[in-house]
Structure 1
């Protein structure tokens, strides 16, 4: 079974999200695009909350959230216990957010990164496993304890 990835964006991340949805489907992922689907102004927290709740309830394995900068989506996602969201604009951070922090929500800025870089970030994030070293497990457990 392929990994179930939910994507959501506000109007500022719509174009990048659409490109990522297409690329992920072509890559064999099971993709759920929960919106937005228009350029009308929307509120990113509405989409972030819906996507993260679905992931935490088991409907999806991981989330990719896109707004203008990625910041608002990450702040909203991290309000949920069990979500470990990273706002990412480089491949190094994508890799280590998975390997060391077991991130399960990737946030991108549609006005910050172009599709080429965003696609490399997404591929890296999706294919990098959590390292599982004792020190990283201890730290992730501390994140989840508060």
Structure 2
């Protein structure tokens, strides 16, 4: 299951993600927001990230206007490795190298076709499992305390 979270600036982009997930038959849980009324991205980014950290959801996708703020929020949650991606190449590498479990995107910065390509790449790229990448992820995890 995929955890979703966005603010009003990411709402339209999230609707593109939802359409993609439904087309592919991928289960998701939408933690809001549910309309374009102005709201605070930390509320929704935190809920989605906590669902991934707890194991309720396998991965997460969080979206705000730029993706920056909501990625910062997600990365405050212990166990989350959130990567802000604006094209598929970085989405592939963050899965292969960082085993990122949350994808952040900027709803105002990328178009619908690119959103689909990024999400498809993120969800379908496995972690490489290479020792050097596993070692680095362990180093990151050790920083969490």
Is 2:40 the counterpart of 1:43?
yes
Q: 1:25 aligns with which of 18, 22, 27?
A: 22
Compute the displacement of 1:75 (Å): 0.5
Q: Give the aligned partner of residue 81 of structure 1.
A: 78
Compute the displacement of 1:125 (Å): 0.5
For these two proteins, the number of residue pairs brought into alignment is 143
What CA distance in whole angstroms lies between the structure 2 residues aligned with 1:92 and 1:58? 27
Is 2:6 the counterpart of 1:9?
yes
What CA distance in whole angstroms lies between the structure 2 residues aligned with 1:55 and 1:16? 20
Q: CA RMSD of the aligned region, Å?
A: 0.7
Q: Give the aligned partner of residue 126 of structure 1.
A: 123
Compute the displacement of 1:141 (Å): 0.4
Is 2:58 the counterpart of 1:61?
yes
Q: Give the aligned partner of residue 108 of structure 1.
A: 105
What CA distance in whole angstroms lies between the structure 2 residues aligned with 1:51 and 1:125? 16
What CA distance in whole angstroms lies between the structure 2 residues aligned with 1:75 and 1:25? 27
What CA distance in whole angstroms lies between the structure 2 residues aligned with 1:37 and 1:9? 9
Structure 1 runs of 4+ aligned residues shifted over 2 Å read: none
Q: 1:97 aligns with which of 81, 87, 94?
A: 94
Normalization by structure 2: what TM-score? 0.96
Structure with greater proportional helix content: 2
Compute the displacement of 1:10 (Å): 0.1
Measured against aligned partners, the alpha-carbon deviations of 1:21-65 in whole angstroms (never above 9, x if no partner) come to 111111010011121111111100000111111111111111000
What CA distance in whole angstroms lies between the structure 2 residues aligned with 1:126 and 1:21? 13
**Structure 2: gaps of 5 or more residues:** none
Normalization by structure 1: what TM-score? 0.96
What CA distance in whole angstroms lies between the structure 1 residues aligned with 2:112 and 2:4? 15
